[in-house]
């Protein structure tokens, strides 16, 4: 009887570790229990070039290396669009310094924390009122249409900032062990 009890304990211990692995394998093999919805609200845009290759007039001042960029076309309803993206930027709280707003087009003064630029010539991948989210290297991560809600962009941007910590605030490790 004692040997049977010990064998039962051993089988139970093996099952505790084996069942999650088997369950994960079944989920992957037969696509059971894996959510199909997307998490990002924007669209991937692999055909949009890096920011350095955009046909813009003198985009040198204000872009800090390592900042995420929220670029938006301001050719339609510029005052309203500039205001809505300014409010989103403020809503980022302590993460706001990691993001730079780039307003392309439109007339008038830029809002605080915003950089203004103009198109030299309008590229074929641009649409009026479009919004682009760029990583610190200038690569377009997501693009949004004019009708996008601020909450959707905020969710995506907050997620990206959370998943990509600010490398400027992390002390460099130079191999010292003391």
Residue 59 structural domain? 51-163
45 part of a folded domain: no
- Tens of pLDDT along the chain (178 residues)? 788 889 999 999 999 999 999 999 888 888 787 766 666 778 888 889 988 888 888 665 667 777 899 999 988 888 888 999 999 999 999 888 889 999 998 887 888 888 888 888 888 898 898 999 999 888 999 999 988 888 999 988 988 888 888 776 655 555 544 4
Q: Contact 143/132 with Cβ under 8 angstroms?
A: yes
Distance, in Å, from the CA atom of 59 to the CA atom of 115, rounded to the nearest integer, reads 9
Provide the pLDDT for residue 18.
Answer: 93
40 part of a folded domain: no
37 part of a folded domain: no
Provide the pLDDT for residue 19.
Answer: 93
178 part of a folded domain: no
Q: 0.85 exceeded by the pTM?
A: no
26 part of a folded domain: no
Provide the pLDDT for residue 178.
Answer: 46
169 part of a folded domain: no
121 part of a folded domain: yes
CATH, residue 74: 3.40.30.10
9 part of a folded domain: no
Q: Is 19 exposed, middle or buried (0-12, 13-18, 19+ CB in 10 A)?
A: exposed
Question: Is the four-CA dihedral 56, 61, 66, 71 of positive or negative sign?
Answer: negative
Provide the pLDDT for residue 70.
Answer: 92
How many structural domains does the chain have? 1
Provide the pLDDT for residue 134.
Answer: 92
């Amino acid at each position: 009887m004692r040997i049977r009890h010990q064998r039962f304990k051993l089988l139970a211990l093996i099952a505790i570790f084996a069942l999650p692995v088997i369950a994960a394998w079944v989920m992957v093999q037969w696509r059971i229990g894996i959510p199909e919805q997307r998490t990002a609200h924007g669209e991937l845009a692999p055909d949009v070039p890096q920011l350095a290759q955009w046909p813009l007039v003198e985009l040198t001042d204000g872009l800090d290396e390592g900042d995420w960029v929220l670029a938006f076309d301001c050719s339609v309803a510029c005052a309203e669009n500039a205001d809505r993206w300014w409010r989103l930027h403020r809503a980022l709280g302590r993460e706001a310094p990691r993001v730079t707003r780039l307003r392309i087009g439109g007339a008038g003064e830029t809002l605080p924390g915003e950089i203004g630029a103009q198109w030299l010539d309008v590229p074929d991948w641009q649409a009026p009122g479009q919004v682009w989210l760029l990583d610190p290297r200038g690569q377009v991560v997501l693009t949004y249409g004019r009708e996008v809600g601020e909450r959707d962009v905020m969710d995506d941007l907050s997620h990206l900032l959370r998943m990509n910590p600010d490398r400027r605030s992390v002390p460099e490790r130079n191999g010292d062990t003391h």
